[in-house]
Amino acid sequence: MSGVSLTRRSLMLGGGAFAAMPAFADLISATPGPSLGFRVIRKGTVIGTHMLTFEGPLDDLTVRVAVDLAVGFGPITLFRYTHRAVEIWRNGQVVGLDTKTNDDGTHHTVTGRRTDAGFVVEGTKTARYVAPDNALPATHWNRKMLDGPLINTQDGRLMHPTVQAVGTDAIPTAEGGTITASHFAMSGDVQLDTWYDTTSNWAGVCFKASDGSLVRYERI
């Protein structure tokens, strides 16, 4: 998903289908403004950024995602990851998805298009399929993604995590402050903890890397 992570790296058109889709308010939450950004921290070191930009109103929205990560030892880069995604929303429905990922030299692409048959997804390593009506891209900014299956934006897989509300936490920000946010634990084929603030905007995420170390997002 990009929900992209060091361990999740294996974590955007037609009008006729709209009438059969869930209502606008059921599929999208508020956007934070023109942009939303996080610094990514592993073992106390900043290893990159995860940035999102939002263009247009909710009924005519383009979301752009840029993830850039690098893990090194001294001057030597041991691992590099880049991910780009574009989501297109029309009248509250996601109608287009295009992603490109470079996972340390392994390249992936995903496309999604809304047709009369539904939202059709295809990835470099994922056969073409029609996603369920309530499936959303796993780009995290939209809290509504917790309500249904997720489309992995790196490889296109359809995921069905279990989501549990944990409570409310004060989580750190990149500037040294804190954000009061609702905490959700995701398990199953997605394993991470994610937070959304009191206005339903994405506030942070935490997961285990392949070596057992924690990777955290702190909002900029």
Span 71-87, pLDDT tens digits:
887 778 888 999 999 99
Q: What is the pLDDT of residues 26-63, one digit of tens each?
A: 567 767 789 999 999 999 999 999 999 999 988 899 99
Q: What is the pLDDT of residues 101-135, one digit of tens each?
A: 999 999 999 999 999 999 999 999 899 999 999 99
3-state secondary structure of 39: strand
- Give the helix/strand (H/E) hosting 98: strand 93-103
Q: Which of 146, 101, 147, 152 is nearest to 131 (CA)?
A: 152
Share of the chain above pLDDT 70, in %: 87
Return the bridge partners of 38, or none: 50, 219
Q: Residue 7 pLDDT > 60, yes or no?
A: no
Q: Which of 208, 203, 172, 204 is nearest to 190 (CA)?
A: 208
pTM assigned to the model: 0.85
- Give the span between the Cα atoms of 28 and 7, in whole angstroms: 27
